[in-house]
Amino acid sequence: MADRTVLVVDDDPDILSIVEQILSFEGYNVLTATNGLEALDLVEQVRPELILLDMRMPVMDGWQFVGRLRAYRDSPVPLLVMTAATDARRRAREVGADGYIAKPFDIEDLLEKVRQHVDAYA
């Protein structure tokens, strides 16, 4: 299953844990990070097929993370912004993400979007 790795970045441990469970049930390999810095460390070691990214986080926020990621990686990794902000679409555009998942989300919607992007990549 190494070709179906999803990296989830969120500072709320509960959300991290539930997204991890949902995706694991569907057979994805899930990596988690609570801020941008941890996520960058992981990306250095593993190349995920998709990143689900919360924007407002301590230590390193989503914007900084995307900036560093782009500088570091030549080939782009699909990125979905996962945010509770009212203007989720704008946030996604700001960092050049491939889409967004507005919190609170429906599990079906989350899975549909993840499936779409991982499959598109594969």
Partner 1 sequence: MSSDTPPSARRPGAAAPSEARYYDGSVYPGLKSEPIGEGLRTFARLSGWPVMLAAGNWLGDVGINLTLYNAILLVSLVLVLATQLLFHVHLRCCGVDVLPPMLDIATLFVLSWLSGGIASPLSSAYFLFAIVDTVGLRVRAAVAIAVGYSLSYALVDVAQVGGFRVSDFQAHSIVLHVLYLLWTVVSAGLLAGILRTATRRARAAAQENAILYERSVRTSDDLRSVLNSTENGIFMVDTDRRVRFVSRQMGDLVGTDLSDAVGRYMPVLIRDVLRERFKDPEGFERRLLDLYDHMDEEAVDELEVVGTPPRLLSRYSGPVRDETGRLLGRIEVYSDVTEARAAERLKDEFLSLAAHELKTPITSLKAYAQLLRRKPIEQASPKLLTNALVTIDRQATQLTLLVNDLLDVSRVETGHLYLRLEDVDLSRLVRDLVERMTPEGTGHAVVLEAPEEVWVRADPARVEQVVVNLLTNAIKYSPGGGEVKVSVRRQGDEAVVSVSDRGIGIPKDKLPHIFERFYQAHSTERYSYGGMGLGLYISREIAQRHGGRLWVESEEGRGSTFYFALKAGGREDG
Contacting residue, 17, 46, 90, 120, with partner 1 by CB under 8 A: 17
Q: Would you give the binding string for partner 1 spanning residues 42-81, x where CB under 8 A is met?
A: -------------xxxxx-xxxx-----------------
Q: Is 40 in the site for partner 1 (CB under 8 A)?
A: no
For the CB of residue 116, give the shortest distance to partner 1 in the complex, in Å. Answer: 19
For partner 1, which is the closer residue by CB, 11 or 121? 11
What is the DSSP code string of 34-86?
A: SSHHHHHHHHHH---SEEEE-SS-SSS-HHHHHHHHHHH-SSPPPEEEEE-ST
* 78-111 burial: b if 16+ Cβ within 10 Å, else e: bbbbbbeeeebeebbeebebbebbbeebeeeebb
Q: Which residues of this protein are in contact with partner 1, per CB under 8 A?
A: 11-12, 14-15, 17-19, 21-22, 25, 55-59, 61-64, 84-86, 103-108
